[in-house]
Amino acid sequence: MTGIHIHPSILSADFARLAEEIERVHTSDAIHVDVMDNHFVPNLTMGVPVVKAIRAATDKPLDIHLMIEDADRWAPDYADLGAESVTFHVEASKAPVRLARELRARDTKASMALKPATPIEPYMDMLTELDMILLMTVEPGFGGQSFLDVVLPKIRRARQAIEDAGVPIALQVDGGVAPDTIERAAEAGADVFVAGSAVYSAEDPAKAIDQLRALARNAQH
């Protein structure tokens, strides 16, 4: 994965019209699907049956973000549905290296997410096991929150660690990504951006995605 990628979050979409809502973001690079269990985070969204229906409704790559407890048990099920990428929270995994390998064995990209207060340093030796790192730029659980600038130094440290390791890992940020924040995240080193409200609240979601991509590209040059 190279270049800037925009993954709109369907958490901000109309759940009664998901197939149509996915078509509205046809300029996206992938569809970000937030799975919440009302335990790991204080919200409940969708599970395997709905993700299976989404998979059948689109050829777009699916970027599954699991905000659930016991990720070691449940994450492989989402890989088996045909998702291109599955992200598990390191705070919810007892054996993250094993889980990452299980996901890759199912021909799915393995991604590890960290909450804002979770440091990246203890997991730097894991980089070769991962295809993407997701740094939350809000507390996970709800859409529409404001971007936390306190995470910017962690984004920079993660980017430096990726470059030092010489591995082709994507660095994703999720939370509060909008025209007034995406440039800061891109300058810090992020290259994959999850945007929910900024996309789906726009009059033209596809055009909003193009705008975000251009802003991020300009910030990296």
* Residues tagged active-site: 34, 174
To the question of whether residue 80 is assigned a binding role by annotation, the answer is no
Residue 143 labelled as part of a binding site? yes
- Any binding-site annotation on 166? no
82 is in an annotated binding site: no
Is-contact 108 83, C-beta < 8 A? yes
Q: How many CA atoms lie within 13 A of 118 on its CB side?
A: 19
Question: Would the annotation count 15 as a binding residue?
Answer: no
- E strand or H helix that includes residue 212: helix 205-220
In 3D space, the residue among 58, 9, 59, 60 whose CA is nearest the CA of residue 35 turns out to be 9
User: Is 9 known to sit in a ligand binding site?
Assistant: yes
Burial 2-19 (b: 16+ CB within 10 A, else e): eebbbbbbbbbbeeeebe
Helix axes 71-80, 96-105, angle to 10 degrees: 10
Q: Tell me whether residue 39 is annotated as binding.
A: no
Q: Is 189 annotated as a binding residue?
A: no
Annotated binding site for a divalent metal cation: 32, 34, 65, 174
Residues flagged as binding site for substrate: 9, 65, 141-144, 174-176, 196-197
Annotated binding site: 9, 32, 34, 65, 141-144, 174-176, 196-197
